[in-house]
Amino acid sequence: MTDPILTIKNLTVDLPEGGDRPHAVEKLSVDIAPKEIVCIVGESGSGKSITSFTTMGLLPKALKPSTGEVIFEGQDVLKLSPREHAKLRGSRMAMIFQEPMSALNPCYTVGDQIEEVFEQHTSLSKAERKAKTIKLLDEVQLPEPERIYSSYPHQLSGGQRQRIVIAIALALDPSLLIADEPTTALDLSTQAQILHLFKELREKHSAGIMFVTHDFDVVAEIADKVVVMKEGKIVEQGTAEEVLNRPKHPYTRKLIDAVPRRTGSVNAHMTEKHKVMEVLGLNKTFHTKGTMFKPSRTVHACKDINFIVHRGETLGIVGESGSGKSTLVKCLIRLEDPDSGSVIIDGSDIAQFTPKLLHPYRKSIQIVFQDPYGSLNPRRTIGDQLVEGPINFGEDRAHAMERAKKLMEIVRLEQDALYRYPAQFSGGQRQRICIARALMVEPEVLIADEAVSALDVSVQKEVLKLLNEIRDEMGLTVLFITHDLRVAAQICDNLVVMQNGEIVERGNVDEVFGHPKHDYTKKLLSAQPGQNWNVPDISKLPPVDPALLDQALNQPMGAVR
């Protein structure tokens, strides 16, 4: 049996006094062997990231490991000095973070940032560093490595930036890779490419991989073993096949039960034939000026877009990054002015309105953005942020606050939430607040722009259920923008599929998923991770056996082979 690269034994990381619980991580034991991918899953706050940060020596000063060992290549890294730990980082162990734009310095080229690793840990010459960097860019399957080498992060796509972060992590051929939600913000095709890349790198570099995620389809795609965490403790662990298909712990069953099914509309319902929005011949083109080094460019972000949405309908708009979804949304809410075409709401073409004429119609269409953390002002109370919209449309504050209290009940939050600040809420609660804020001006159309992609699977299920309930109760029309086809199947009645600014396919959910006509739609469906995993029906599993549960909790990860 191969010796583990990493062995964590009875690790406990204490939280500052006065919190909800005493430990961020408690009595955690896990090991990772060469060429092995161990997925750590759980909701936000479960201790997944704290485990990875402890291994890397990147814990905030407020958190301290109180007991346990983290044995990496034969030495306990918890006993190393900061300088000694720093020598391991980048050379023998490396970390890939969730948000590649934040992980990369916008002021330096890609080549400079990769070469920095060689500069810090080796004595290679400038020419040797560049040669190795170009080779790395080619290894992670980036096109035109020479061009990428000289590019800045903002000039590249999200998938390309994530490959660069992976290249930095691989620069010195580490034996341990830690990936913290590396595919969360990526579209399906890019995600599939990155997951395939991880599998290739595991074989090529013989590295052990700790993969932190909340996406069970990703787990089904790449995991050898699975560790399920809740409130800092391991509640279940085993091979991927065991945990995904025969989960023992109620918490694991709850998480798997929240995974959206891939096909079939779950709550398809009849909608009224009253047209709420009609989009006709919408076009938007962007032009960039050329320079000495770069030719001018013309991008057709939206090409002759046509669709109708009826009252009570949820229309899904799906496609990869760069397909034109976000530009379309900006044109619909007039954050961008379309070049031509019409956006007709209640008989009025708002695409042609001047800003002054547009103002009263802005309340007709509201949006919930992807990031619930960046969408709220951290310095203002929730109540102040909710009443701002109605006040801007002439409503008095007292009346607006009364409606805000009622909306808190609708989105399943307490009324005293109005007097608190965003930092006092979880991501799922913040997204509920963003939904309430959008509903404050009583819109006819609600746009959800990747509104659940950053949420845990169980919170995601709750927010999707809430959107369905609000749609039915208030007679709303919903435009649901997403790259996640599983989520689209869960909530949408009809779909349009976008590629390169054009609608390439449309139809109801069952038609598009069950009998796709366009090659691009087929490509998206085939790119879904976990194709061979059928989400089990939790209600049909045998009851939890206390003896098996105790065995699962007490069994060290190294024994699961």
Each residue's pLDDT tens digit in the chain (561 positions)? 578 999 999 999 998 875 667 889 999 999 999 999 999 999 888 889 899 999 999 888 888 899 999 999 889 999 999 888 888 887 889 998 877 767 899 999 999 999 999 998 888 999 999 999 999 898 888 888 898 999 998 888 777 888 898 889 888 888 999 998 888 767 788 788 888 888 888 888 888 999 998 889 899 999 999 999 998 999 999 999 999 999 999 999 999 998 887 554 444 454 557 889 999 999 999 887 766 656 777 888 899 999 999 999 999 999 887 788 889 999 999 999 999 999 999 888 999 899 888 888 888 999 998 777 788 999 999 999 999 999 999 999 999 999 999 999 888 889 999 999 998 887 778 888 999 999 999 999 999 988 887 677 888 888 888 888 888 888 899 999 988 888 888 889 999 999 999 999 999 998 998 899 999 999 998 888 888 888 888 888 888 766 655 554 444 444 333
Which distant-in-sequence residues (6+ apart) come within 8 Å of 357 by Cβ? none
Sign of CA dihedral 345, 349, 352, 358: negative
Alpha-carbon distance of 180 to 509, in angstroms, equals 32
CB atoms under 10 Å from CB of 269, counted, come to 12
C-alpha pair distances (Å), 518 with each of 189, 264, 510: 16, 18, 15
Instruction: Give the phi and the psi of residue 171 in degrees, each rounded to 5.
Output: -50, -45
- What DSSP state is assigned to residue 274? -
Instruction: Give the phi and the psi of residue 73 in degrees, each rounded to 5.
Output: 50, 45
Alpha-carbon distance of 91 to 121, in angstroms, equals 7
With CA atoms as reference, report the closest residue to 436 among 456, 414, 455.
414
| pTM, to two decimals | 0.79
The CATH 3.40.50.300 portion of the chain extends over 1-92+175-259+539-561, 311-341+348-534
Which distant-in-sequence residues (6+ apart) come within 8 Å of 478 by Cβ? 313, 314, 315, 445, 446, 447, 448, 467, 471, 491
What pLDDT does residue 293 have? 58
Alpha-carbon distance of 553 to 561, in angstroms, equals 16
Architecture of domain 1-92+175-259+539-561: 3-Layer(aba) Sandwich (3.40)
CB atoms under 10 Å from CB of 153, counted, come to 21
Alpha-carbon distance of 385 to 433, in angstroms, equals 9
What pLDDT does residue 266 have? 46
311-341+348-534, CATH topology level: Rossmann fold (3.40.50)
